[in-house]
Chains A and B, each alone.
Chain A
Amino acid sequence: MTNKYQDEETRREQDYHRLRTRNPICVTCGYSDHPSAMELAHIIPRKFDDDAVVLCTNCHRTQSDTEKDYSYNPTSDNSQMETIGRYLLSIADLLKLIAAKFEEYGHWLLEQAIHVLPYCPEEVA
């Protein structure tokens, strides 16, 4: 548009459009505070497959770093098997990030358990 500066609502709509969802959450760390800090990340390089997930910028950089150890294009004669293999490896990398988050959260819960009273639904009601 000729107006270089778009208002916040417009910027948000463009973020949602870019992320292909109106409820973006980083699949590895659960970040959801601001869509402009989130990106649509290809699970494997798009020359292999176009599937993508939403990641926050930090997680996207972390995930992309491991990708650099591999080729961005199919290199073997059997690109189908290579794609599936790369896909599984990328999913495994993502799951590792998720597992690390689980581990971190588990430790945090253990720490909190010392200080916080147990949850009692009747009292809440």
Chain B
Amino acid sequence: MSLPSPSEISVRAYTEKPGARPLAAKPSGSGGDTPSPWAIIFDCETTVDAAQSLRVGLYQVRKSGLLKEEGLFFDPDTLDCEDISAIEGYARRNGLKCISAAAFRKSVFLKIGYLRKGQIIGFNLPFDVSRIALNHGAARGPMRGGFTFHLSQYKSDPQIRVKHLSARASLIDFAKPGKQQTPRGMRKRGIDVPHHRGYFVDVKTLAASLTSRSFSLAGLCDYLGTQTRKLATEEHGGPITRDYLNYARADVQATWECFAELERRYHEHRLETSTHRILSEASVGKAYLKQMNIRPLLSNLPDFPRETFGQIACAYYGGRAEVRIRRKPTQVLYCDFKSMYPTVSALMGLWPFVVAKDLSIHDTTQETQAFLNTVSLEDMKSKKTWKKLRTLVSIRTDNDLLPVRARYDGKVNTIGLNYISNDQSLWYTLADCIVSKLLTGKTPVIEEAMTFEPGEVQDDLLPIDLFGNPDYRVDPSYDDVFTRFIDLRDEARKKKDPVQQAIKIIANSTSYGIFIEVNRDNAPKPEPLDVYGPNGHLLNAKTTAVEEPGRYFHPLLGTLITGAARLMLALSERLAEDQGLSWVFCDTDSLAMAKPEQMDQSEFLKRGQLVINWFDELNPYLKPGSILEMEDTNYSAETKDPKPLHCLAISAKRYALFNLDQDGRPILRKASAHGLGHLMAPYGEEDAPKEIKAPKFPRSETCVARWQHDLWIKIIEAALGTHPDQVKCNYHQAFQNPCLSRYGATSPKLLKWVDTWNGGRPYTDQIKPFGFLSSFTAKSGLLLETKPYEIVDPSRRGRPEKIQIPKPIAPYERDSQLAVSRAFDRATGRPVKASELKTYAEALAQFHLSTEDKFENADFTDFGETQRRHIHVENVALIGKEANKVGSGGEADPVVPAQSNYGSSLGVNYQVDVGP
């Protein structure tokens, strides 16, 4: 029995601060952004208790890459005399400098990093900066939501500000010191000496930006093939020995070597943007657009009507991720679209919008309705038809099949393709209307349509040679850069040129995300915000989630691209159904076509191939072939022949693909860690259960850790067996331990959780910013311990007491039993017993039954085909950027919606707070 369909749907609004100048209209920097040849590389070793305080650190000072000084620094408060003499002896023997942490802060860190304008390099830099700091506080100004670290007791010395952005990146800079930096003569003339913000390079961030992967230092050394590798040690927290200091010294050297190699790779791009500005793949994409001298939309048209942005934002929905055949093992053909977003951008001809001086809007209501009335599946085979999709339409829906964003589970907004009826007209992409027509046969009635046309090409655009190679020339004035990047990648792959991976990253980073970039700033108290919904300007909105469009913000592109990608998926869905096939799941750019039980294997492959071949004509690239491609998982790893691939999908983004061996047992090919990734591994590779065979394929292919692999195997075995609803997590005793998540205290708000713990402790013993926390899930509902039942209790009157579910956290401990013994309720500070915590077995008990609430027939124990919902809209809510903060709630549900709600578009405005 599914939950009833929601009556309130949500659409995105465009918001901006009243009177604020858009980022794109601000100057991009005054130059002088190059660090001096000096660099400091450092790493801290800490205590292993909850405080993770500095014990000893190692550093290198380099000039133009040459080592000028190497040394150790230590905190005498956390070390005993023997440890200190061991450090001093080691320094003496190896010719290293040995200084206190205070001396390091002043005469190395500030001297090289601030006065000499050198680079400050580290791996996971926020953690290390936090270790060497004297104290901390909450940052203000543009870095609010982050931390300020004090490096000296003098106000004339700068503080460091760190704002966590994601697991991969943080913003780090020097705050302006409390000392007058502009001489009086210059002040009189109104001249200001620009403040030095510092050149902080987190090697972890740089590596992720250039490779699109997350690394540990050891993994990065292996990946880059550095001469020095991270050494192994078991001596953390123990007495300081020569081996331990060797280990720490190697860490710093390895960090430097990784940085040098990554910087070399970055310089191959020949971009003017400095290394310290690269925080993500999107930074690389933006650097390329800057290099081509492309001015952003809001720089060319700072007064572009915001009401139109509101209408465009209303039509914005993300990628489509759905399950059609749920909890039923089914043989599939797993396919994905080649570079989906660049492909649809090229087909619609969106590059001219990126390089246009202007953007014009035409009312095309009649033409668009006429087009929609006649458009057919065959028409979509023509590239010409795709050029007509640069249109948004306003429709009053009447049982049309369109993307619907709603709280299907009553908690979180998700997007599902459902039948919707709405008395109020809303904006959609024309591509979404074609989806509705092709899948239902019914043509939506358009009330208004607006088609966008790019203006003239900007003057003085600059061609670039990728990696300095004239063969890889890209000219933004004449090329469709989206296709050019993919063609170049195909060419590089053919030549076996190692730059192919880098070109792939450039292609992806310039094709979508930067156009829909919205940066959110969590204000301490609600601030006024201009909100533009589908009906125009909504005044008086106040929120703590203040949003600012990114530099290359161009919502039209983001909206059209995702709309066309949903159309691509719908085309493949319709074609599969026309061939008598169904599908198990789809996810943004991939589709798993399902084999009907009675169909012959060769017939299935033949029909699947027909679906794939249909897309041949839509290929915008030089390399021939279909843009819908078969994934490697469809083939045998040994013989490369097609091998029956099976799929078990539970809910959106929770699926597993597997082969069956001769005995009918599953061999996992690929699975999703969605819904599992926030948990610490209950056991490792070394103590994996004997009864489950080790994975045949490496983690890089299966995409899951060993314990996740084992759980999926058990779920599949249950589904193949006679009791698909029962998956017992009793195959390893670790499942009886309290289930544990780990995350960092990355914002003052999160660090506040440990106020009870920190209260009364000296600073050295306190949990500090970017230190780790352990989070547990409290038992609730039926799992709660009940008091002995009292039939009559004359002493109690009135409403029964509400049971308070604790929000248990603990300081991070390597020993999980110790962490459990230190668990406390972050709301009240009272200790929480182990018996109040959910075990892994209890937390995972319903994972294999995860509901797909956006559809019917998708409740816990339902299985088979899901049914689309029919939604009659009574209210439309306007919301801000959809962002999930995994784990920050510390609750049973790992994903907490962090989304601003600006009220309904029917004119009701109210003030709302946001987030956990």
Q: Which residues of A contact B (CB under 8 A)?
A: 1-3, 6, 9-10, 13-14, 16-17, 20, 22, 46
Contacts and interface: CB of A to CB of B under 8 A. Distances in A.
B39 to A, nearest CB: 12
Interface string B2-27: 00000000000000000000000000
A14 B31 contact: no
A21 B47 CA distance: 43
Nearest to B193: A18
A112 B414 CA distance: 84
Interface stretch (B124-132, B151-159, B546-554, B751-759): B151-159
Contact of A2 (B37, B116, B157, B189): B157
Contacts of A16: 36
Contact of A1 (B31, B110, B117, B196): B110
11 contacts: A1-B115, A1-B156, A1-B157, A2-B106, A2-B157, A3-B106, A10-B111, A10-B116, A13-B118, A17-B32, A46-B191
Contact of A17 (B111, B191, B196): B196
Interface size class of B (residues with CB under 8 A): 10 to 19
Nearest to A14: B115
Contacts of A14: 115-117
A-B CB proximity, top 3 nearest = A13-B116, A10-B115, A13-B36
B809 to A, nearest CB: 39
A20 B30 CA distance: 11
B38 interface: yes
A10 B106 CA distance: 13
A13 B191 contact: no
Contacts of B36: 13, 16-17, 22
B157 A13 contact: no
B117 A13 contact: yes
Contacts of B37: 22
A47 to B, nearest CB: 9
Contact of B115 (A6, A20, A22, A46): A6
A83 B648 CA distance: 72
Contacts of A9: 38, 116
A6 B116 CA distance: 10
A32 B489 CA distance: 47
A13 B191 CA distance: 21
A4 to B, nearest CB: 11
Chain B CB within 10 Å, residue with most, of A6, A13, A20: A13
B778 to A, nearest CB: 50
Interface string B66-108: 0000000000000000000000000000000000000000100
A63 to B, nearest CB: 17
Contacts of B111: 10
Interface in B763-787: none
Nearest to B196: A17
Contacts of B191: 46
A13 B37 CA distance: 9
A10 B112 CA distance: 8
A11 to B, nearest CB: 9
Chain B CB within 10 Å, residue with most, of A1, A3, A46: A1
Contacts of B31: 20
A2 B117 contact: no
Interface string B583-595: 0000000000000
A2 B115 contact: no
Given A17-B196, A20-B31, 15 more contacts: A1-B115, A2-B152, A2-B157, A3-B106, A6-B115, A9-B38, A9-B116, A10-B115, A10-B116, A13-B115, A13-B116, A17-B32, A17-B117, A20-B32, A46-B189
Chain A CB within 10 Å, residue with most, of B106, B115, B196: B115
Contacts of A3: 106
Nearest to A46: B191
A22 B63 CA distance: 14
Interface string B26-58: 000001100011100000000000000000000
Contacts of A1: 110, 115, 156-157
A6 B118 CA distance: 15
Contacts of A2: 106, 152, 154, 156-157
A54 to B, nearest CB: 13
Contacts of B32: 17, 20
A2 B178 CA distance: 12
B445 to A, nearest CB: 54
Nearest to B68: A9
Interface in B151-169: 152, 154, 156-157
